[in-house]
Amino acid sequence: MGKKLVTAQAPFTMLVPGLTAPTDPSSNTPPTGDGGMTYRTQFFPDVPGKGEKTQPTSGKTPGTSTRTGLMAWETQNVALPGRVDIECVAVAVPADFTDLGPTFFHLGEYVIECGVDFDFGVTPAACADNLAAFIDSFPDWSCAATGSGTVRANGPAGIVGNEVVAYVAGPGASLWSLETIGGADPQGRLHDADPTIGPPEIT
């Protein structure tokens, strides 16, 4: 995994040839119609070394690339941030965390040490409140507790928002559950960010 930004160049349209009839050489019938079509797309180059730490959206080796397609929005052209739910599944807080060793949340470019950057509190709900307040202090993130030991963290918006890393590591990792809004994501990244890269247009 590495840091990268996903940029977007302006869309462009090309005229492409298209035949409206068979072109079998054994046929004496020439193609008919002008066959004119347009192909509209844009380039999305990755810029390495800047922005959030990301996980790839495929099983391939992480790296930078240039993708093609057209920018698309799922919700009425409103940019939505990448999101993840974080639940404290400890029963006796902080007793369950005692002597387990350092445990860390990785949220994009931020690394949070449990019990150091925020207090565990007494109950899972209090623990979640403290974690939410700390994440909410990040300039490009927002977070709110639900009151039941779960927080909803909102990360960056935009194309890279679906690739931002979100995972917990360390001996206390089993006392936390991270789940993307759309369901568990084994790749460990945010989910539901808008806009996305959609298909090109052929008309």
Mean pLDDT of 147-152: 86
pLDDT for 123:
92
Task: Return the domain boundaries, the chain.
Answer: 2-72+197-202, 81-180
Q: Which residues pair with 164 in a beta bridge?
A: 54
Share the mean pLDDT of the chain.
83
Res. 61 pLDDT band, cuts 50 70 90: low
Res. 22 pLDDT band, cuts 50 70 90: low
Pick the CATH number of 81-180 from 3.40.50, 3.30.70, 2.60.40, 2.40.160: 2.60.40
Give 80-128 pLDDT, tens digit per residue.
Answer: 888 888 999 999 998 999 889 999 999 988 999 999 999 999 999 999 9
Q: What is the three-class DSSP state of 192?
A: coil
Rounded Cα distance, 194 and 201, in Å:
19
Tokens 């790296």 correspond to 63
Give the closest residue to 157 by CA, choosing from 86, 87, 75, 66.
75
Lowest-pLDDT range, 8-22, 36-50, 136-150, 172-186? 172-186
Cis peptide, bond prior to residue 195, ω within 30 of zero: yes
Look at 166 and 179; give whichever has higher pLDDT.
Answer: 166
Decide if pLDDT at 25 tops 90: no
